[in-house]
Structure 1
Amino acid sequence: MTRLAACWILVLALAGALRFHDLGQRPLHADEATGARITGRALEGQGYRFDPTHYHGPVLHRLGQLASLAAGHRRWADMEITPLRAVTAGAGLLTVALPLFGVRRYGQPAMLFAALLLATSPMLVYYSRMFIHETLLALFGLLVFAQLSLRRHLWLIGLWAGLMWATKETFVISLAAWAAAAFACWLLLGKNRPHPRELLRRHGRDAALGLAVFLLVSIGFYTDGFRHGRGAWDAVHTYFVYHPTEGHEKPFAWYLQLLGLSETRGGLWWWTGAPLLLAILTAVRSLSPRSPNPATVRFLAIATLLHLLAYSVISYKTPWLMVLPLAHILLLAGLSVAFFPKRPALRVAAGLGLAGVIAWQLVQTVRSSFQFPTEARNRFAYVPTSPDIAGLTPWLEQLDAAQPDLPLQPILVVGSDYWPLPWYLRRYEQVGFYPEPPAEIDRMPLVFATGDLTEQLIATHVPVPRGLRDGLPITVWVRSDFWDASVQKSHD
């Protein structure tokens, strides 16, 4: 027992180190910056109003608000990224701990291996270190499965499902996949399947209580504590009016390629398909009459397949949408331990193979999250923010110090698609955002432009090209008096 406890502690310590180490290192992603801005408004007492046309649910922002308050931040200008990312890093760590709830039912080896896979998965680690919704969605989704594994207090499934809906509208994909998988497993029981009336007698009370909790939790979040009743309608209305950002359309097989096929980028070889192969092996072996836990394996296998199918049909695709489906895959892969061969030599070989899977995941995790977190050769760095943007704040401070008698404000941002720039300008009070250049732009001390403003500013400003996001540069136009003063000061 002591050895097993030590193993679990080591796995959780590894998961925590991978998720929390140097959490503020990576430049802020555009999606993180928009989420931080919504959190900042709530932090300043502006409340929360769910936008059904574009943004996701409120749970991430509310937890981010609590984390910021705990760190002593009260305003948008004071916020830092580490407390915000600690929310999702913590959710990722809790996800790794969830296989503990399945130990009695599925055994220590299977659950320990599943936890190791979750702990070292390069995709799960990378997105746990970002302030985005998907890691929370995966946590609440696996809590549903953990509750089913415990077979007690099943009404709590309503709580986890309610938190899923309040996190992101895509929870309906999981709900539909799980419902269809449960129905398929019920059919596969054949003559042994219980009658619906028997199921209702056993679980009707839990189902009714769970539904009430589900509605209370989800509506409570969307209405900002029942203060804005329209939020309940908007939570449903979003499925009809949501407008995804253009430019993320991918072919049907894109997710399968991401999860199962190898790829070489900039001399680095990436392959995360080993857990998928183990999951497929587990699903196939569940067809055997002697298979342990066949109902669980079949449920997970069917649910995983339906998740992948649903997300693949949708043309809008980003890699972080696979966080919850991948967690399903890793659980299935963990259950493959139950099919270890009995012959000692083969067991040793199989154990070494599984150790190799963990080691290779660790190599890719270190590469993606620590060595090359924002580079194009990183398979998981999707539209990353340029490292150049991280040096923006000290550079602006130098410009400001070069002309102490003149304010560096107002600052103008002209054009569109400028996120995460507002985060890096959050400490300046006079920042304006314009789709087109306004009048008297030539008098502004500083202008950030995503388009060409040469005609308007070349006579009065000096252009300084900087990186913003992968494939998207930005030009900073510095008024000549500030530029000349900063050059002179650097020579003194």
Structure 2
Amino acid sequence: MKSIFTFLLWLAIFAIGAHLRLDDLASRPFHADEATGAKITSMRLESGTYVFDPLHYHGPILSELGELSALAAGEKSWSELNKQPLRLVPAIAGCLLVLLPLLGVRRFGQPPMLLAALALATSPLLVYYSRMYIHEMLLALFGVLALFQLAARKCWWPAGVWIGLMFATKETFATSLIAWFAAAVLTFFLVHDRPSIKAALLFIWKPLTLIGSIALAVSMFHYTDHFTRWSGAIDAFRTYFVYKTVEGHDKPFFYYLTPLIFPKNAGGLWWFETPLILAALAAFIASFVSKSMSRETQTTIRFLAFAAAFHFLIYSLIAYKTPWLVLLPWAHVCLLAGFAVFLIPNKKPLLAGAIALAFIPLWFQSRNATGRYASDDRNPYAYVPTAGDIETLEPWLDSIAAASPDTPMEPVAIIGSEYWPLPWYLRKYPKMGAWPEAPPSLERLPVIFAMNDLTDTLIATHVPVPRGLRTDTPMVVWIRHDFWDASVKKPDASSPE
């Protein structure tokens, strides 16, 4: 009966995590970063090859898995791609992340791992970015897998596979290696009966060499497009010296504290993940005061706490900040939160259940963050969200084109900068071009999307229609008079709203 009850608990937690990640997955408008990732994926689909760009983009794993998901859905080109198959990649990664505490049950017991899984399942930060086609959820999955494999001690070599996949996912894996190394050193010096430094180095140099060799081989396999393009191996390391970040993302040092620690009221709701931080702090305290805790558990808790702290310190010192950068360190915090049960005498189920109830607000926030507020500036997890009305752009253009069936509504022009994810919503128009400034003879084009003021150029030939792109990026769609007049005369033409 106890085994059945435990199984049902795991099943319920996984169901909660999976529902939060998979329900209505394609409803939110595509983010600019998702659209660029989709474009890279489409280039793989259409050419059958991959070339890593060390200047602007990240590793190949996301587009490689996205390609497989798209092919499974029968999509083989840019114009055929849809959001659902692409977003399934991070969503499945997020679901698997919820199950990873199962790997620690034999070493740490059921209660702390169940609570850790519940934290991973309901954290709004992890839920929200499990539903976005970007690299970070894969990085979090591979990072936590590496941690559990390293904790196994007797079989370290698979950690090299996971670290190699981290490298092939995103260059910021180096931040995790630095944080883990610093945490390991600090944890080592807190052990009372620790071996000498020389003895410790003699013990770990062979497994670390093996892990590093495997990680290098795995990562290079992907960066070189399966050992067919060797320039990718050089570019994988060159990216640390030539990568160009996008302007406008500089944030203050304490940016990550809200809403992860300090509650924030926006949109009539309170946003916070304070219960996870409090539970993680309780676990850290338990590692010093609990008399029933094993030395292995104490060491694990302290390592996770120090690793999370070093991650946040490094990311806080870097001016460039986005919420998704801290998914992996926040997964550390969720794992730590599970160990809070060690403060409960004999880990009594009723008290453990009371702690679990504290996570109900997290579930409620996750539902709001991925539902009504999924693409709303008032949602602190919706970073530079795309305007919701962009979802009506394609059918609106189709209705205008249908009013003039004998005249092609191409080529389509985009004027200005910072226009992504607009090309995603125009992917059915192969004759499309983008210019930072208006080119000659612009007034001849049927449809023009402008982030710049083109009133003087187009007012005589086109009708301006304001449309939403992002809250910080106004956009005007200029429709040539012949198309506009025909659509207005057509009785069933859709309105721009």
TM-score range, shorter chain: over 0.9
The answer (yes or no) to whether the contact 1:187–1:193 under 8 Å persists in 2 is no
SS in 2 for 1:448: strand
Q: Which moved more, 1:466-475 or 1:352-361?
A: 352-361
Q: Which residue matches 1:234? A: 235
Count of aligned residue pairs for this structure pair: 488
Q: Which residue matches 2:272? A: 271
Q: Which moved more, 1:377-386 or 1:190-199?
A: 190-199
Q: Which residue matches 1:185? A: 187
SS in 2 for 1:287: helix
**CA separation of 1:197/1:393 partners in 2, compared to 1, >3 Å: closer, same or farther?**
same
Cα offsets for 1:120-154 (capped at 9, x unmatched)? 11111100000011100000000011112333320
Which amino acid in 2 is paired with 1:246? E
The within-5 A match list for 1:373-412 is 373-412=374-413
Within 2, Cα distance between the matches of 1:130 and 1:418?
A: 19
- The structural deviation recorded for 1:343 is 9.9
Cα offsets for 1:129-184 (capped at 9, x unmatched)? 00011100000000011112333320111111110011011111100111111112
Within 2, Cα distance between the matches of 1:24 and 1:104?
A: 38
Q: Which residue matches 2:420? A: 419
Which amino acid in 2 is paired with 1:259? L
Within 1, Cα distance between the matches of 2:347 and 2:314?
A: 41
2:304 to 300, 308, 327: 300
The within-5 A match list for 1:154-303 is 154-193=156-195, 196-197=198-199, 200-201=202-203, 203-288=204-289, 290=291, 291-292=293-294, 293-303=297-307
Which amino acid in 2 is paired with 1:121? S
Within 1, Cα distance between the matches of 2:198 and 2:12?
A: 44
Cα offsets for 1:271-304 (capped at 9, x unmatched)? 1111111111211221237244111111111111
Q: Which residue matches 1:92? A: 94
Within 1, Cα distance between the matches of 2:452 and 2:299?
A: 57
1:103 to 105, 109, 112: 105
Cα offsets for 1:395-442 (capped at 9, x unmatched)? 011011000110001101111110000101111110011111111110
TM-score of the superposition, structure 2-length normalised? 0.95
Which amino acid in 2 is paired with 1:8? W
Q: Which residue matches 1:19? A: 21
Give the gaps of 5 or more residues in structure 1: none
SS in 1 for 2:47: coil
Q: Which residue matches 1:370? A: 371
Within 2, Cα distance between the matches of 1:416 and 1:41?
A: 22
- 1:320 matches 2:321: no
Within 1, Cα distance between the matches of 2:59 and 2:198?
A: 34
**CA separation of 1:7/1:191 partners in 2, compared to 1, >3 Å: closer, same or farther?**
closer
Within 2, Cα distance between the matches of 1:239 and 1:343?
A: 46
Which amino acid in 1 is paired with 2:74? G
The answer (yes or no) to whether the contact 1:275–1:333 under 8 Å persists in 2 is yes
Within 1, Cα distance between the matches of 2:209 and 2:272?
A: 44
SS in 2 for 1:463: strand
- 1:79 matches 2:81: yes
Q: Which residue matches 1:340? A: 344
Within 2, Cα distance between the matches of 1:183 and 1:338?
A: 25
Within 1, Cα distance between the matches of 2:484 and 2:346?
A: 74
The answer (yes or no) to whether the contact 2:94–2:127 under 8 Å persists in 1 is yes
SS in 1 for 2:265: strand
**CA separation of 1:83/1:194 partners in 2, compared to 1, >3 Å: closer, same or farther?**
farther
2:52 to 47, 50, 53: 50
SS in 2 for 1:220: helix
Give the gaps of 5 or more residues in structure 2: none
Which amino acid in 2 is paired with 1:435? P
Q: Which residue matches 1:475? A: 476
- Hey, which bits of structure 1, 4+ residues long, moved more than 4 A? none
Q: Which residue matches 1:146? A: 148
Within 2, Cα distance between the matches of 1:175 and 1:13?
A: 32
The answer (yes or no) to whether the contact 1:126–1:365 under 8 Å persists in 2 is yes
The answer (yes or no) to whether the contact 1:19–1:128 under 8 Å persists in 2 is yes
Within 2, Cα distance between the matches of 1:26 and 1:289?
A: 45
- 1:456 matches 2:457: yes
Cα offsets for 1:372-416 (capped at 9, x unmatched)? 101122121110000110001100110110001100011011111
Which amino acid in 1 is paired with 2:62? L
Within 1, Cα distance between the matches of 2:394 and 2:438?
A: 24
Within 1, Cα distance between the matches of 2:481 and 2:76?
A: 36
RMSD over equivalenced CA pairs, Å = 1.6
TM-score of the superposition, structure 1-length normalised? 0.96
- The structural deviation recorded for 1:470 is 2.1
Within 2, Cα distance between the matches of 1:470 and 1:343?
A: 49
Within 1, Cα distance between the matches of 2:357 and 2:332?
A: 21
The answer (yes or no) to whether the contact 1:30–1:385 under 8 Å persists in 2 is yes
SS in 2 for 1:258: coil
The answer (yes or no) to whether the contact 2:413–2:447 under 8 Å persists in 1 is yes
Q: Which residue matches 1:4? A: 6
The answer (yes or no) to whether the contact 2:447–2:480 under 8 Å persists in 1 is yes
